[in-house]
Amino acid sequence: MREKKPFYITTPIYYPSAKLHIGHAYCTTIADAIARYHRLAGDDVFFLTGSDEHGLKIEQKAEEAGIQPIEYTDKIVASFQALWKRLDISNDDFIRTTQKRHERVVQEIFRRIYAKGDIYKGEYKGLYCTPCESYWTEHQLDENGCCPDCHRPVQEVSEEAYFFKMSKYQDRILDYIESHPDFIQPVSRRNEMINFIKQGLDDLC
């Protein structure tokens, strides 16, 4: 008999600033098909999806609506869950980043990283697009000096921030990817990632 193997799959946890679109349904349906395949093959499957509920855009949308961010995301998240039910998605759990069980784990991970000395305080300077919640470098901007994604004006932002010493782990990550050929699939993405890391990783804000 085939050995029963644990199999974990997750979609991205979607950002509930607005209703979902067909792209989210596409991604979740593919994950669902893979989860169902592994269940049929007898594996011990855990299939997760959820919502990523923190960020400036949600705070602003809630303010516009005159409600608390959690009230705003409660409504949108209910629409996520109704959609997955309608599409008969077989997820085993639905995680919300506002749930206590999620906060506890994140705090523990940050505590461990901090205890290892891999978090330090620095200053982040950049060109920020609020609607996209993205920082851009000068050469990424479009021909009008605006956000390359939504083409709205960007703001120069400088703030005190904490950084994770990602640069310290560059060689270990590269070694791992190179010695585990199946770790990133397909091969084209694996090569893209290897080239990206070889250019040098910055510490992460």
The residues of the shown chain that bind Zn ion, judged by CB under 5 A, are 129, 131-132, 147, 149-150
Q: Taking the CA of residue 21 as centre, how many other CA atoms within 13 Å lie in the half-sphere pointing to its CB?
A: 3
Least distance to Zn ion from the beta carbon of 140, Å?
11
What is the DSSP pairing of strand 44-51 with strand 93-96? parallel
Q: CB-wise, 104 or 152, nearer to Zn ion? A: 152
Backbone angles phi, psi at 4, to 5 degrees: -80, 115
Cα distance between residue 78 and residue 95, in whole Å: 13
Q: CB-wise, 45 or 147, nearer to Zn ion? A: 147
In terms of Cα–Cα distance, which of 111, 112, 88 is closest to 36? Answer: 88
Other CB atoms within 10 Å distance of the CB of residue 130: 16
Least distance to Zn ion from the beta carbon of 124, Å?
18
Q: CB-wise, 47 or 128, nearer to Zn ion? A: 128
Least distance to Zn ion from the beta carbon of 149, Å?
5
Q: CB-wise, 29 or 134, nearer to Zn ion? A: 134
Least distance to Zn ion from the beta carbon of 156, Å?
15
Least distance to Zn ion from the beta carbon of 147, Å?
3
Long-range Cβ pairs for the range 36-41 (8 Å, 24+): 36/90, 38/7, 38/9, 39/90, 41/2
Q: CB-wise, 80 or 128, nearer to Zn ion? A: 128
Grouping H, G, I as helix, E, B as strand and the rest as coil, residue 172 is: helix
